[in-house]
Amino acid sequence: MSKTNKQTGVVHKPFGMKDKLGYMFGDFGNDFFFIMASSFLTIFYTNVLGIPGAIVGTLFLASRCVDAFTDVGMGRIVDRAAAHADGRYRVWIKRMMIPVVCSGVLLFVPWIAHLPMAARIVYVFVTYILWGSFMYTSINIPYGSMASVITDDPVHRASLSTFRSLGAAFAGTLVGSLTPQIIYVKDAAGQSVMDGGRVFLVACIFAVLALICYTLCYKWSYERIEIDRSSQKQQSTGELVKSLFTNRALLSYVVAAILLLLSSMLAGSMNMYLYQDYFNNINAMSLAGLMMTGCTLILAPFAGTITKRFGKKEAASCGLLFSSLVYGLLFILKIKNAYLFLALLLLANLGSGMTNLMGWAFISDIIDYQTLKTGSSDGGTVYGVYSFARKLGQAFAGGLGGFALTWIGYQSSVGGAAVTQTLETVNGIYAISTGVPAVCYLLVALILIFWYPLSKKNLAAMQDELKKRSAAV
């Protein structure tokens, strides 16, 4: 049955596959540049632009200070925005999709390598903060918040989370598996080196594909849930800050998100060096990208059943404990064969993959938890805080990755010239790539078990209470 939004007068069809696909394309579009920046930007800065790893680490950490204001600020803007025919959150996808892809392309301009070092450093600071802290934020915060108003059905929300994860997986396949085949060339000595011109070409292609995905997300997703703010408690800034800092579900999952991003992004950025310098096997790097998508496709059909039977918190914590164990074995065994390494990595990814599939549904639950505790709907703000935590995890990964490269003695190159790394350096790359995920996944599992409050039983009780309040209103 169709539903008419009383505030805008727009008639929407019932929730269905079109909504799921539209929401999937949103993260598909987002992740072209998010994954490319996470996986290739550090090595592009060091090996093409010739910028020292410590400077790169400083850039990633400094930009997160800006995000503390832009992420939460954007959340407040969309929460307090007036009702619009295109939706409170959805309209921002149309407004910002062209600026976000243009700023993404600027990250990968190779000709900056010909400028003096000071000019190169200024350029990367300006363009990275422009893309990550302003443009990407202005589209990602509304997009992430939109899930809570597309539907209020818990099963439908779980399906949105799964399809969003599928969108990220498909983007990861294109970026992770195809990009290395294009951007790496052989030098005179037969070693694989990154070609800056090819990186820029790939960035331009991804910009076009991202625009197509954003357009489909905008056209196929609809906001059905009306938020009547006149009947809600209006929190002051002080009350809002206090409620966020006392939201146990939000705080615990924020810490978990930082550790998860620290693990995945640091491992992702170090993997470029792992396959290039430790295994000397670029084909294995591409296979690793395909494998990530394969894990998502394997788990996706079972995510709903597993969640319904065991609960999100319970299933995620068990999977992470298993992943931590496998990464610990990889760290100890110090495997030299790239394909044996990938086989064990597949098992680890299956363990952590369930958490990735359910991650966005966790946030919808946390938004409801905030509403239950405060009586105010602040989905954009909650998502803004969570987005900042994700970026903080990414920044720590990039920052620590840059500092770690310097610490283990990694030698940067200029103009794509190959540099032979020492044995101690390549062994250090392997130790970071396996040891960090082993520790981080263990810590996140413990956080979910002992700190995060929304177990299967508690979540059901919360949903019942919210339905009673809604019926009373």
230: confidence class by pLDDT, cuts 50, 70, 90: low
Computed over every residue of the chain, the mean pLDDT equals 84
Mean pLDDT of 90-114: 95
User: Tokens at residue 244, please?
Assistant: 């966020």
Claim: this prediction has a pTM higher than 0.85: no
pLDDT tens, position by position, 360-381? 788 888 888 888 888 777 778 8
pLDDT score at 109: 96
> What is the sign, positive or negative, of the torsion defined by CA atoms of 68, 206, 158, 356?
negative
Q: Is it the case that residue 414 has pLDDT exceeding 90? A: no
pLDDT tens, position by position, 422-464? 788 888 888 888 998 999 999 999 999 999 999 888 888 887 8
C-alpha 293/C-alpha 40 separation (Å) is: 18
466: confidence class by pLDDT, cuts 50, 70, 90: confident
pLDDT score at 410: 80
Q: Higher pLDDT residue, 213 or 472?
A: 213
